[in-house]
Structure 1
Amino acid sequence: MSRDSSLTQSPAWMALKQHYTEIQHHHMLEWFAADPKRFEQFQSQAAGLTLDYSKNRITRDTVALLLQLAEERELPAQINDLFEGAAVNNSEKRPALHTALRNFSDRPVMVDGVDIMPEVRATVHRMEEFCWKIRRNQWRGYTNAPFTDVVSIGIGGSFLGPKLASGALKPYWDSRLDIHYLANIDGSHITEILKRLNPATTLFIVQSKSFGTQETLKNALACRSWFLKNGGNESDLAKHFVAVSSNVEKAVEFGIAEENIFPMWDWVGGRYSLWSAIGLPLALAIGIDNFRDLLRGAHAMDEHFRTAPLAQNMPVLMALLGIWYVNFFGVNSHAILPYDHYLRTLPAHLQQLDMESNGKSVTRQGQPVDYHTGPVIWGGVGTNGQHAFHQLLHQGTHFSPADFIMPMTSHNPIDHFHALLVSNCLSQSQALLQGKSEAEALQELLDAGMPEAEARALAPQKAISGNRPSNTLYFPKSTPQVVGALIALYEHKVAAQGMIWGVNSFDQWGVELGKKLGNRVLDALLSGDSPANFDGSTCGLVDAFRRMQKLL
């Protein structure tokens, strides 16, 4: 069946609907009891990661039907299109070739008849030279002091991906450099960063493809002003400011030397740009060799996604499980639960990756969908969440599938801390699976000596339904290669879901309207003149702002 045919009328979709009615009330514990090898059967390994997906509301038949759906939607051909440079971002007539940025094979990658790999490799070499100069104190500030701090100025993908990887790989940082990420257009954010810095030893990286993104440019101009007011002068700007941008003219006008402007390409979307020169602050922190290892880990996952049969393909399996819950169980959210302090910003990065990619309500052909697409992504780190939102996971009226993500060893072993952390991770997924019946809760209370009447009143409050699905992703340690593979895994999971849903996972038109209206609202806030077509609420809020700013 063609991928452009109606998804909900496909044979596999109809079979999955029927299959759902047959198994929806079954408890996973039944399937574990009936199949001692369920754990081994529902497992996938790739690029140093292992996925246990046995705690999902699936049988062998479920998986077979989901794989049939992927075949009917011509998923292997669509995956090939992605790697071959087809215009998979059809609304902008562009390929999505973030995979080329970590291509360690000898395969050329063609865009408009030109192999882009020489330019990609040349950019990594430029990054290497730059990092060497900074880290070896060959490039210094205007007082000839070595740099101690790097401020990365960007937003969206220019911020979330590098910040995630920098945090995840903190054990590999050069202790002489501290990396700061400035994104929010909020005076408090920039103030709190700059007040801790010395302009003579601070390097700024301005990250904006257009060199005109409102938040990034405003923050960059504020940093430039701060630098000039605190000892630096115009001739010193080139020593302290570099850029990652495709708008060389604007960057040079800002005061950045042309040789210190690293390229961005139209065939790399912002949320996939970590692997490019956008990763420059990360490379400065961990060194270019570790940065290359990050790329190698992502490349290993790319090769797995590109070549592995669908039935063993980790990103595809995760994508299909998500579709199973969103489209047949009616689930509208998915929790990301890293049990690793260094991965604490993973949920925020995956929010953008997933929700900006698949938060779509029309197909690639512009037709309204008649099924749900991307879920809300949320989550939090480690045991913190157990004392906060896990209550909803266990007893809420809606269930949210969860990904538990866990290194088996710690960079910082202390006593039995890591065993305790892992025990919490495993016990939470176990509790989601098995739950506790009202009868069990009642018996526990009676065994503890509670009067029967009181115990019967309390038992329903302590009952937990269980049968709530989760994946467990585990690996030996959070190394650069593992972190690269982990991020690439989710990139491909999201892409595979978009391919099956028939949406364009590589554009983001939904963010444009707010940007456009923002300029008009800003004019009204500053001038006090609200356009006639502003709604009453916006006019009232503009007026409230001006009153409180004492501008009236």
Structure 2
Amino acid sequence: MTHSYHDITTAPVRVKLEKSAENPYNLTREGALTDDKRVERYVAHTASFKLMYSTQRINDSVLNSLQQLADECGLIKQFAEMRRGAVLNKIHNYDSECRQVLHTSCRDIFSDSPKEANATGQARVEIEKLRAFLDDLDSGKIVNEKGKTFTTMVTIGIGGSDLGPRSIYEALKAYSKDSRVVHFIANVDPDDAARVLEEVDLSRALVNIVSKSGTTLETLTNESIVVERLLAAGLNPAKHCLAVTGQGSPMDNPQKYLRSFYMFDYIGGRYSSTSMVGAVMLGFSLGVENLDRFLHGASTIDDLAENAAIQQNIPLLLALLGVWNHNFLGMDTVAILPYSQALHRFPAHLQQCDMESNGKSINRQGQKLSYKTGPVVWGEPGTNGQHAFYQLLHQGTEIVPAEFIGFRNCQYQKDLQVSGTTSQQKLMANMLAQSIAMATGQKHENPNKVFSGNRPTSILLADKLTPETMGELLAIYEAKIIFQGFLWNINSFDQEGVQLGKILAGRILEQMQARRGNGDGIETQFLDVAENTANTTVER
């Protein structure tokens, strides 16, 4: 499947959008948010979420142009091709990974006619293996050496094998099975593993090691630390360790691991939370029913994302609004601001998913780009962030578009009224107020109290953070990122940017081994590698 599509530079509607960007909608004008029922009209829906975007600097003309941009760039066609197995992870005429992109197949398991039958078939095999394993845990068929059940899981992985799954676990702790706890070790910093192991009774713990290649330096190092601790406690690692890895990798070893679950080349690490990378841990902590609810939520968005009408397709609309702010209005970053403490690690996951996907400076033909691609993505939960960095969002010289995420109801249903309102009402009031304040600003005779306004925001609102809505939220942002990559005509599915550092780290480690004990310090090793690498081609 190879087609030629317009991109953001060649789409005919670009000229119209550039003209509109010269005088974008003024949110600070009196009546700007109430004219023409703007607040009611600028709303889009999924099964669970409402996207409120009246506080973006757009009008109907810009929306129509963005629709035209999506059509001219073939965004829906490319997304549909991706789901059906097109080889999109490639750079034409240059060496690249040259793979399909089929993370959506992991949650297409509920369909009678999946979009890519082979990949979904493999996902079904793995999910059935996982169901059987979890059943054996729950029934007591799998126990530790003393006949006791496993109550803890230690997941070892890094990057896409850590950030996404960890953020979802944190988001859904309220739905965890009684007595089931998960800990994570990611950083090769030995203090990360030491801290976790101080808190864990390894005799009751499963150790879940996650690496597609089976060769990830940080993951294998941390695995060795945990295995050494298991052995020191008189425990058999083969009865405690699970592997989530590529079939046939060095970690695909039944002599070494209690069970192996497979991840496949067509699923990129940062898009792998709904594969076995996330499912093994989430199935252990949430149980099978809640895991299914999470996967089903994601699958509903995958289907919705094929809707060509941008006002009925939240991921596509978010992508286009982001490109409007970034490429046409010149805003370099975007803040993801969840008004939910459970989502406190979700911005970190999106930071990786977005910046590793779209932090590219060549197009899919290998040509250097003349326009901006991925923005810097960052964020923290509200209301904490209001007391940290919102000063810059309101009055700083940098204009930062903000995407708020909120829920009408709290997870634990343990709330009470203080001064006439509940804590959840206070949380939502703050979120709505921040969005309005950033948009409309404030005039004042004291310049220190002037808020310039015209700082674009949007609000994603759902009833409650549940397994279904978490699945939806994850898939919304995955699809948003992919649509933006299509618009910029870049490969959002590789990550060459991490390779050079890995290679050079390997060289420095070799020097550390060779020079052990001769007094040479880190500075010497840095200089030697720098001199030998400058302006040379480094092969993998």
TM-score relative to the length of structure 2: 0.90
Offset from partner CA, 1:319-361 (integer Å, 9 cap, x none): 0001011111111100000011111111000001100000011
Q: What is the CA–CA distance in structure 1 between the aligned matches of 2:379 and 2:105, rounded to whole Å?
A: 30
Q: Which residue of 2 aligns with 1:132?
A: 135
Aligned residue runs from structure 1 range 131-150, under 5 A: 131-150=134-153
Aligned-partner SS, 1:22? coil
Aligned-partner SS, 2:285? helix
Q: Which residue of 1 aligns with 2:447?
A: 460
Aligned-partner SS, 1:410? coil
Question: Is the CA contact 1:152–1:181 (under 8 Å) kept in the aligned structure 2?
Answer: yes
Aligned-partner SS, 1:116? helix
Q: State the AA in 2 paired with 1:206.
A: I
Offset from partner CA, 1:349-401 (integer Å, 9 cap, x none): 00011000000111011111111010000010111100000011001101110
Question: Is the CA contact 1:436–1:465 (under 8 Å) kept in the aligned structure 2?
Answer: yes
**Which of these residues, 472, 478, 488, is aligned with residue 491 of structure 1?**
478
With over 3 angstroms needed to count, the CA separation of the structure-2 counterparts of 1:252 and 1:430, relative to structure 1, is closer
**Which of these residues, 509, 531, 539, is aligned with residue 522 of structure 1?**
509
Offset from partner CA, 1:125-177 (integer Å, 9 cap, x none): 11111122223433111222211211001111111111111111111111211
Aligned-partner SS, 1:301? helix
Offset from partner CA, 1:212-242 (integer Å, 9 cap, x none): 100001001111111001121xxx2221001
Aligned residue runs from structure 1 range 156-175, under 5 A: 156-175=159-178
Deviation at 1:435, TM superposition (A): 1.3
Aligned-partner SS, 2:264? coil
Aligned-partner SS, 2:208? strand
Deviation at 1:535, TM superposition (A): 10
RMSD (CA atoms): 2.2
Q: Which residue of 2 aligns with 1:122?
A: 125
Q: What is the CA–CA distance in structure 2 between the aligned matches of 1:469 and 1:536, rounded to whole Å?
A: 48
Deviation at 1:10, TM superposition (A): 3.1
Question: Is the CA contact 2:7–2:488 (under 8 Å) kept in the aligned structure 1?
Answer: no
**Which of these residues, 427, 437, 447, is aligned with residue 443 of structure 2?**
437
Q: What is the CA–CA distance in structure 2 between the aligned matches of 1:101 and 1:254, rounded to whole Å?
A: 24
Of 350-359 and 30-39, more deviation after overlay is shown by: 30-39
Of 192-201 and 338-347, more deviation after overlay is shown by: 192-201
Q: Which residue of 2 aligns with 1:211?
A: 214
Aligned-partner SS, 1:278? helix
Q: What is the CA–CA distance in structure 1 between the aligned matches of 2:138 and 2:511, rounded to whole Å?
A: 46
Q: State the AA in 1 paired with 2:306.
A: R
Question: Is the CA contact 1:137–1:147 (under 8 Å) kept in the aligned structure 2?
Answer: no
Q: What is the CA–CA distance in structure 2 between the aligned matches of 1:63 and 1:216, rounded to whole Å?
A: 46
Q: What is the CA–CA distance in structure 2 between the aligned matches of 1:537 and 1:57, rounded to whole Å?
A: 51
Q: State the AA in 2 paired with 1:538.
A: F
Deviation at 1:27, TM superposition (A): 3.3
Q: Which residue of 2 aligns with 1:359?
A: 359
Q: What is the CA–CA distance in structure 2 between the aligned matches of 1:246 and 1:33, rounded to whole Å?
A: 52
Deviation at 1:536, TM superposition (A): 7.9
Question: Is the CA contact 1:211–1:247 (under 8 Å) kept in the aligned structure 2?
Answer: no
List gaps (5 residues or longer) in structure 1.
Answer: 440-458, 543-552
Aligned-partner SS, 1:504? coil
Percent identity of paired positions between Structure 1 and Structure 2: 38
Aligned-partner SS, 1:335? strand
**Which of these residues, 196, 199, 208, is aligned with residue 196 of structure 1?**
199
Aligned-partner SS, 1:250? coil
Deviation at 1:501, TM superposition (A): 0.7
**Which of these residues, 514, 527, 540, is aligned with residue 539 of structure 1?**
527
Deviation at 1:539, TM superposition (A): 2.2
Q: Which residue of 2 aligns with 1:101?
A: 106
Q: What is the CA–CA distance in structure 2 between the aligned matches of 1:518 and 1:293, rounded to whole Å?
A: 41
Aligned-partner SS, 2:13? helix
Q: Which residue of 1 aligns with 2:97?
A: 92
Aligned-partner SS, 2:147? coil
Q: What is the CA–CA distance in structure 2 between the aligned matches of 1:252 and 1:79, rounded to whole Å?
A: 32
Q: Which residue of 2 aligns with 1:38?
A: 38
**Which of these residues, 463, 466, 469, is aligned with residue 482 of structure 1?**
469
With over 3 angstroms needed to count, the CA separation of the structure-2 counterparts of 1:6 and 1:402, relative to structure 1, is closer
Q: What is the CA–CA distance in structure 2 between the aligned matches of 1:341 and 1:136, rounded to whole Å?
A: 34
Q: State the AA in 2 paired with 1:479.
A: T
Question: Is the CA contact 2:305–2:479 (under 8 Å) kept in the aligned structure 1?
Answer: yes
With over 3 angstroms needed to count, the CA separation of the structure-2 counterparts of 1:375 and 1:194, relative to structure 1, is same
Aligned residue runs from structure 1 range 416-431, under 5 A: 416-431=422-437
With over 3 angstroms needed to count, the CA separation of the structure-2 counterparts of 1:369 and 1:358, relative to structure 1, is same
With over 3 angstroms needed to count, the CA separation of the structure-2 counterparts of 1:9 and 1:200, relative to structure 1, is closer
Aligned-partner SS, 1:56? coil
Aligned residue runs from structure 1 range 497-508, under 5 A: 497-508=484-495
Aligned-partner SS, 1:7? coil
Deviation at 1:476, TM superposition (A): 0.4
Aligned-partner SS, 2:145? coil
Deviation at 1:252, TM superposition (A): 5.4
Q: Which residue of 2 aligns with 1:177?
A: 180
Q: What is the CA–CA distance in structure 2 between the aligned matches of 1:229 and 1:536, rounded to whole Å?
A: 37
Aligned residue runs from structure 1 range 48-447, under 5 A: 48-90=48-90, 91-103=96-108, 104-110=110-116, 115-232=118-235, 236-248=236-248, 250-251=250-251, 255-257=255-257, 260-279=259-278, 280-412=280-412, 413-415=414-416, 416-439=422-445
With over 3 angstroms needed to count, the CA separation of the structure-2 counterparts of 1:95 and 1:33, relative to structure 1, is closer
With over 3 angstroms needed to count, the CA separation of the structure-2 counterparts of 1:249 and 1:347, relative to structure 1, is closer
Q: Which residue of 2 aligns with 1:456?
A: none
Q: What is the CA–CA distance in structure 1 between the aligned matches of 2:428 and 2:310, rounded to whole Å?
A: 30
Aligned-partner SS, 1:511? helix
With over 3 angstroms needed to count, the CA separation of the structure-2 counterparts of 1:77 and 1:213, relative to structure 1, is same
Aligned-partner SS, 2:246? coil
Question: Is the CA contact 1:89–1:507 (under 8 Å) kept in the aligned structure 2?
Answer: yes
Q: Which has the larger radius of gyration?
A: 1
Deviation at 1:32, TM superposition (A): 2.7
List gaps (5 residues or longer) in structure 2.
Answer: 91-95, 417-421, 531-540
With over 3 angstroms needed to count, the CA separation of the structure-2 counterparts of 1:306 and 1:252, relative to structure 1, is closer
Q: What is the CA–CA distance in structure 1 between the aligned matches of 2:189 and 2:277, rounded to whole Å?
A: 22
Q: What is the CA–CA distance in structure 2 between the aligned matches of 1:274 and 1:175, rounded to whole Å?
A: 23
Offset from partner CA, 1:498-536 (integer Å, 9 cap, x none): 111101111111111111111011222343499xxx998
Q: State the AA in 2 paired with 1:240.
A: H
With over 3 angstroms needed to count, the CA separation of the structure-2 counterparts of 1:490 and 1:186, relative to structure 1, is same
Deviation at 1:426, TM superposition (A): 1.1
Q: What is the CA–CA distance in structure 2 between the aligned matches of 1:476 and 1:33, rounded to whole Å?
A: 24
Q: State the AA in 2 paired with 1:167.
A: E
Aligned-partner SS, 1:362? coil
Q: What is the CA–CA distance in structure 2 between the aligned matches of 1:464 and 1:501, rounded to whole Å?
A: 33
